[in-house]
Amino acid sequence: MTAKIDYERCTGCKKCHEVCPLDIIVWDEEKGRPVVAYPDECQLCFICQEECPAYAIKVEVPIIFW
Protein backbone atom coordinates (compact mmCIF):
# COMPACT_ATOMS: atom_id res chain seq x y z
CA MET A 1 0.00 0.00 0.00
CA THR A 2 1.16 3.53 -0.62
CA ALA A 3 -1.26 6.37 0.21
CA LYS A 4 -3.56 5.35 3.08
CA ILE A 5 -6.57 7.37 4.11
CA ASP A 6 -7.72 7.37 7.72
CA TYR A 7 -11.49 7.80 7.33
CA GLU A 8 -11.92 8.58 11.03
CA ARG A 9 -9.96 11.77 10.50
CA CYS A 10 -10.99 12.55 6.92
CA THR A 11 -13.31 15.55 6.73
CA GLY A 12 -14.21 15.03 3.08
CA CYS A 13 -12.67 18.32 1.90
CA LYS A 14 -11.63 16.78 -1.46
CA LYS A 15 -8.15 18.32 -1.27
CA CYS A 16 -6.31 15.04 -1.97
CA HIS A 17 -8.63 14.30 -4.90
CA GLU A 18 -7.79 17.75 -6.27
CA VAL A 19 -4.01 17.69 -5.90
CA CYS A 20 -2.93 14.15 -6.81
CA PRO A 21 -0.93 14.68 -10.02
CA LEU A 22 -1.51 11.13 -11.26
CA ASP A 23 -5.21 11.29 -10.43
CA ILE A 24 -5.17 8.06 -8.44
CA ILE A 25 -7.48 9.32 -5.67
CA VAL A 26 -11.05 9.30 -6.98
CA TRP A 27 -14.12 10.73 -5.30
CA ASP A 28 -16.77 8.35 -4.04
CA GLU A 29 -19.97 10.39 -4.50
CA GLU A 30 -22.13 7.94 -2.59
CA LYS A 31 -20.05 7.90 0.57
CA GLY A 32 -18.76 11.44 0.10
CA ARG A 33 -15.17 10.46 0.60
CA PRO A 34 -11.94 9.93 -1.32
CA VAL A 35 -10.77 6.48 -2.41
CA VAL A 36 -7.27 5.50 -3.46
CA ALA A 37 -8.46 3.77 -6.62
CA TYR A 38 -5.12 3.18 -8.34
CA PRO A 39 -2.59 2.48 -5.55
CA ASP A 40 -0.12 0.99 -8.05
CA GLU A 41 0.09 4.32 -9.80
CA CYS A 42 1.30 6.18 -6.70
CA GLN A 43 4.68 7.76 -7.35
CA LEU A 44 5.38 8.69 -3.72
CA CYS A 45 5.39 12.44 -4.18
CA PHE A 46 3.77 12.88 -0.74
CA ILE A 47 1.71 15.80 -2.00
CA CYS A 48 -1.58 14.38 -0.62
CA GLN A 49 0.03 13.77 2.75
CA GLU A 50 1.46 17.30 2.80
CA GLU A 51 -1.76 18.97 1.68
CA CYS A 52 -4.28 17.11 3.84
CA PRO A 53 -5.51 19.63 6.43
CA ALA A 54 -6.81 16.87 8.72
CA TYR A 55 -3.58 14.82 8.70
CA ALA A 56 -5.69 11.89 7.49
CA ILE A 57 -3.31 10.59 4.81
CA LYS A 58 -0.14 8.68 5.35
CA VAL A 59 2.04 7.63 2.44
CA GLU A 60 3.96 4.50 3.27
CA VAL A 61 7.09 3.67 1.30
CA PRO A 62 6.48 0.12 0.01
CA ILE A 63 9.34 -2.32 0.51
CA ILE A 64 9.89 -2.49 -3.25
CA PHE A 65 11.38 1.01 -3.03
CA TRP A 66 13.90 0.22 -0.29
Partner 1 sequence: MKVVETDVLVVGAGAAGSMASIRASEFTKNVLIIEKAVLRSCGNLGMGHHTGELNPMTNVPGGPTSEEFVEGYLFSSSGWSGVERPMDKYIIAEEFPRIVRDLERWGLVIEKDEDGKWATYWNKFIGERMESGVPVKGGTMKKCLVSELKRRNIMVVERTMATDLLTRGNKVVGVVGMDVRTGELTAFRAKSVVMCTGSASRTYIVVPGRRWFWMRDMGTNSGDGRAMCYRAGVEMTMMELMRTDHMIGNTMGRYWWGKCVNSKGEEFLAETYKKRWGRLWSMHLEVLKENGPIYWDARQLTEEQMAKRNYYGSVEKSYPDICIPESYRQRGLDPRKNLAEAIPMPIGFLGGPDFKYNGGTSMEGLYAAGDEIWMDSLSGAFVFSRRAGEAAAKYALQAGPSPMDEGQVKGIAKAVLSPLNRSEGYSPQELEEKIRAIMTRYANVTKTEGMLKRGIDLVSELRRRVAPQLCAGNPHDLMRALEARNILDVAEMHMAAALYRTETVPYGRHFHHRLDYPTQHPTWYRQRVIIKKEDGAMKLFKRQTTEQRSPTREEYEAVKEVKP
Q: What is the contact surface with partner 1 in residues (CB under 8 A)?
A: 18-23, 26, 37-38, 40-47, 50-51, 59-62, 64-66
In the bound complex, what is the minimum distance in angstroms from residue 28's beta carbon to partner 1? 14
Measuring CA to CA, which residue among 45, 49, 44 is closest to residue 34? 49
Smallest gap from residue 17 Cβ to partner 1 (A): 10
Instruction: Please tell me the distance from the alpha carbon of residue 19 to that of residue 63, in angstroms, as a whole number.
Output: 25
Closest contact distance (angstroms) between CB of 60 and partner 1 is 7
- Indicate the residue among 5 and 24 with the shorter CB distance to partner 1: 24
The alpha carbon of residue 55 and the mean position of all alpha carbons in its chain are separated, in whole angstroms, by 11
Q: Cα–Cα distance between 46 and 28 in angstroms, integer? A: 21
